[in-house]
Structure 1
Amino acid sequence: MSCLTCERALLKTENHELKTFPMHLFVTGTDTEIGKTYFSAWLVRQWRQRGFHAAGIKPISCGGTEDAEALRAAADHELTLAEVNPIRFPSPVAPHVATLVDRMPFDWDAMNASIDSARARFTHLAVEGVGGWLVPLDGKKLVRDWAVEMKLPALIVARAGLGTINHTLLTIESIERSGVPIVGIVLNAGLADPSAAAYPQAFATNAETLAGLVKYPIFVFNRVSEAKGMLPEWLATAA
Structure 2
Amino acid sequence: MAGNLVRKVLGSSRSGPPGLQGIPPLKREYLRKIDIFRDLSHEEMDTLDKMTRMTTVEKGRVIYRQEDRAQGLFLLKTGRVRLARITPSGKKLDLAVLEPGTFFGEMPLLAERRRNAYAEAIDDCLLCVMSQHDIERLVLTQPHVGLRIIGVLSRRLAESEARLEDLAYRSVPARLASVLLRLGENGVVEGITHEDLGDMVGAYRETVTKTLNEFQVAGYLKLSRRKVQILNRSGLSILLEDS
Q: TM-score, normalized by length of structure 2?
A: 0.28
Relative to total residues, which structure has the larger helix share, 1 or 2? Answer: 2
Which structure has the bigger radius of gyration? 2
Structure having greater relative contact order (Cα 8 Å, sep ≥ 6): 1
Q: TM-score, normalized by length of structure 1?
A: 0.28
